[in-house]
Structure 1
């Protein structure tokens, strides 16, 4: 049944009324146990919380923050905030105290929900005295002003609130690869536009299952998990932790899965940790046997039931897409931004063209400006940045197109290919401009490179900084180091052969650090922070450039 033109709460209330006993949220609670919440139970808890929030007598449309890792009560709290007539402001659960303080102050948060967190002591100082805190189930130990049990002591609201399509629903703060995060404002109508059209593309429904593990405060997970579940009736399973991820995945056996490229790479590295790459490659080539092996590998990962596999947030190496195809799984690329509600382009099943993202989503207008920038416009385009009219005017054109900051091109059928970021393009000391992203994609196809960043601003030639995978690090520490070194030299030679002369890399540098969210090298959506990488290794760039070796190992 089409759900077009209905707003999120409307659709939720219909599901709550139509099948209150149907499974909605499946939450691990530790020790291998899970808690299952039906649509009716989730609705009841949200309604009780909404009653409590209304009783605070806050001004209509107040901003209420939500700091938590993904869990069932993240979604229930979000629904409660909307039912009470307020605006939800989700924060990444691994921000520093300073970043938390900035977002809470900038967003003018009136209350803050605190949920499942790994390091509450690191976050707590960012919440100023006087800002009331409400603890969700699975919250860390600490002193909170109110508990979820306090909210559940209220009687459930009996009405079905109906905010207008033009009402502000949420402010999503961008993870920010550079500088301070910006508050992207989205209306209920914008969420509905993206959710109705996006979910209808794949034919998902009540029998389907999702696994939620990427941050729900990011637009991709918000749309692909929370909104998609509401609009299609899918069951949402939650991951408990990184340590239990494979168990969580096998429990859910998702039929639809969204991942960033690094997640798809980690799956591959995990397989190679159990079966050598050359042996798997040989088995997959064998007639009849190959298909069976592919299915077995997918089953071992918990991906054997996946019908819709999507990857976004960054380009995917072509070799990785082909590897999954050989296993029998088509990983389809999607493209979108926080500012477009994540709704822009998606590769359609059966229409994959390796190297191209795919066609515009329904009712999305696309144009490439004279500088090569991709610009998009749809009913899911943001209202603007909260309290930043200047940045809004810089990002939205006068006729309502969103300036994506990405350079790209379209083929004759309208498929999009990204060729770099306008702001990431750097100039070498020879005055030549270089776009790092396409080069990084080529380097990332090497089976032992997990992350890569091409730098070169002001250098005579670019260089590639590489972080090895776990398998690569083992080889580097053992007898296989020489052969790994040789394979990296070959990689550099092969990549340079297909690059223009001014783009060719002087060398690859294998750095000893790991790049993670925790140490500030990655955003919460696992994108590299170029400014941090460049400031960390920048003092060594000139010395490295002066050396003649093709592959360097950081001391």
Structure 2
């Protein structure tokens, strides 16, 4: 089998129907509603999805038509997703945090015939954008939509599908729109073969064997990582998924789930660390970990965080500071970095199974992929899980491939063990007023060794010298203590940088960057252009060097 061959992989629909035949009564999904948990078996999830998909066919939606899903994660999200695939309908996920402009663009570009809508933190964009398209509300929907049909109403009136769609490996399975850190999102066309290859090899790396695995599904299912690595991979192994109602209840839900495998993003790992350090100073904690009872201390911390049963940990979506990985390693949490893109059908390269030697790298490619570096250090990839085209965008497709290799836009290096390390984005480098190019990501990683720094963005296009803007973790320190601490980090980092890359200042902001204020993508990546624009006035007016606070 070649790396680009999908023919020998079991397709998701084949695996799902095999599960229905061989273990229909096994518990699969766990849904909390106002703190009360309800569990669903494989047969129950497929039955609900099949009934709703059959109702779509009866309404005139045909196999090959696109139908959108706009909702936070829930059992019904997956029932709708898999149900549509069983009917040959093409699911088109939309981020629950999407603006009305993005929702309207995705619906129009994909030519969606209908939209499922569920729980949203802010319903105004959806209500504005869905006025002219048929809507089905999921069980947890928290707004009214004119003329909408309800999930429960359809279940009560619809029969299951008479037969299931039997796709070929190269048939379209879904269109996933990129999170859009710059410009309009692109629709990535993924086939059943792409998803099957990615999920199979992810399962081989992460959830192999006959052990029962429990995972939280809380990162956006509209993003390919959560949908592929967590949701679709769950049908290839013995995996139960637990959903979350929101940030307020997440810690309790995590303890209820007792995950055996936990995947997060760097910002949330930093918040876990801050939660620990708010209870005990790091210097004291490190002394305790180094003592005779260190293992017991580490176990107690893991248990307190909700990781008492966890065996595997992962981080992805954005670079994570090596110092943060090392800190977690000391409490027995070995975080395996993974890397992938929408265009790679999810996970493409990983330090899973976790190795200490691979810490700080994204490890090695999955067996279905090949990776190499271009002469300029750009990561190139090809394989059975790699997409072949952007939907209705042949120009972008042509620009993204060279001799059959997908140009990822990430810069990287490869070590002697074959492990890759991402060093930044090709287009993220900026030129200072001195005419020198600076790569921000390595500098951000060095600054993030300071546990006080939760978020950091290095910028400096056209400036005499680069600078950083940081958001702090709250560890109960005074402004004087914080200033002294950050100044020490600034000095230490600058000593490691070439003269043209040294920072002349660090500005501390009181504004946390998130999806709501459009400074992060839905997958927690920095929107650098938006951050720079947001702080342009206070930055341009400030003449102070060193460490200081800005009033924004």
The two structures share one fold, judged by TM-score above 0.5? yes
| 1:363 CA displacement | 3.0
CA RMSD of aligned residues (A): 1.5
Which of these residues, 401, 405, 410, is aligned with residue 405 of structure 2?
A: 401
CA deviation vs aligned residue, 1:284-314 (integer Å, no higher than 9, x gap) = 1112x11101000000111121111110111
| 1:204 CA displacement | 5.3
Does residue 317 (structure 1) correspond to residue 317 (structure 2)? The answer is: no
**Unmatched tracts of structure 1, length 5 or more:** none
Does residue 491 (structure 1) correspond to residue 483 (structure 2)? The answer is: no
Give yes or no for contact 2:90–2:175 (8 Å, CA) kept in 1: yes
Correspondence for 2:4: none
Correspondence for 1:257: 262
In 2, the alpha carbon distance for the partners of 1:128 and 1:383 equals: 33
| 1:233 CA displacement | 2.8
In 1, the alpha carbon distance for the partners of 2:463 and 2:295 equals: 48
Does residue 146 (structure 1) correspond to residue 149 (structure 2)? The answer is: yes
Correspondence for 2:376: 371
| 1:205 CA displacement | 4.6
3-state DSSP class of the match of 2:535? helix
Correspondence for 2:94: 91
3-state DSSP class of the match of 1:336? strand
Which of these residues, 203, 207, 221, is aligned with residue 199 of structure 1?
A: 203
In 2, the alpha carbon distance for the partners of 1:59 and 1:122 equals: 28
CA deviation vs aligned residue, 1:238-288 (integer Å, no higher than 9, x gap) = 11110001001001011111111111111111112222323222211112x
Q: What is the TM-score with the length of structure 1 in the denominator?
A: 0.95
Correspondence for 2:118: 115
Give yes or no for contact 2:459–2:468 (8 Å, CA) kept in 1: yes
Matches within 5 A, 1:133-212: 133-143=135-145, 144-152=147-155, 153-202=157-206, 203=208, 205=210, 207-212=212-217
Matches within 5 A, 1:354-393: 354-393=359-398
In 1, the alpha carbon distance for the partners of 2:479 and 2:532 equals: 26
CA deviation vs aligned residue, 1:169-198 (integer Å, no higher than 9, x gap) = 111111111111111110000000101111
User: Alpha carbons of 1:206 and 1:135: their partners in 2 closer, same or farther (altered >3 Å)?
Assistant: farther
| 1:83 CA displacement | 1.4
| 1:102 CA displacement | 1.2
In 2, the alpha carbon distance for the partners of 1:206 and 1:57 equals: 43
Q: What is the TM-score with the length of structure 2 in the denominator?
A: 0.95
In 2, the alpha carbon distance for the partners of 1:305 and 1:59 equals: 45
Give yes or no for contact 1:4–1:196 (8 Å, CA) kept in 2: no
Which of these residues, 538, 549, 552, is aligned with residue 553 of structure 1?
A: 549
In 1, the alpha carbon distance for the partners of 2:120 and 2:186 equals: 23
In 2, the alpha carbon distance for the partners of 1:195 and 1:469 equals: 36
Give yes or no for contact 1:173–1:182 (8 Å, CA) kept in 2: yes
Does residue 127 (structure 1) correspond to residue 130 (structure 2)? The answer is: yes
| 1:122 CA displacement | 3.2
Give yes or no for contact 1:187–1:383 (8 Å, CA) kept in 2: no
In 1, the alpha carbon distance for the partners of 2:8 and 2:215 equals: 21
| 1:119 CA displacement | 1.6
CA deviation vs aligned residue, 1:221-240 (integer Å, no higher than 9, x gap) = 01121111111130000111
In 2, the alpha carbon distance for the partners of 1:501 and 1:420 equals: 20
Does residue 528 (structure 1) correspond to residue 522 (structure 2)? The answer is: no
CA deviation vs aligned residue, 1:121-160 (integer Å, no higher than 9, x gap) = 232101242x100011111131342111232121112323
Correspondence for 1:68: 71
**Unmatched tracts of structure 2, length 5 or more:** 1-6
Does residue 9 (structure 1) correspond to residue 4 (structure 2)? The answer is: no
Which of these residues, 80, 103, 114, is aligned with residue 77 of structure 1?
A: 80
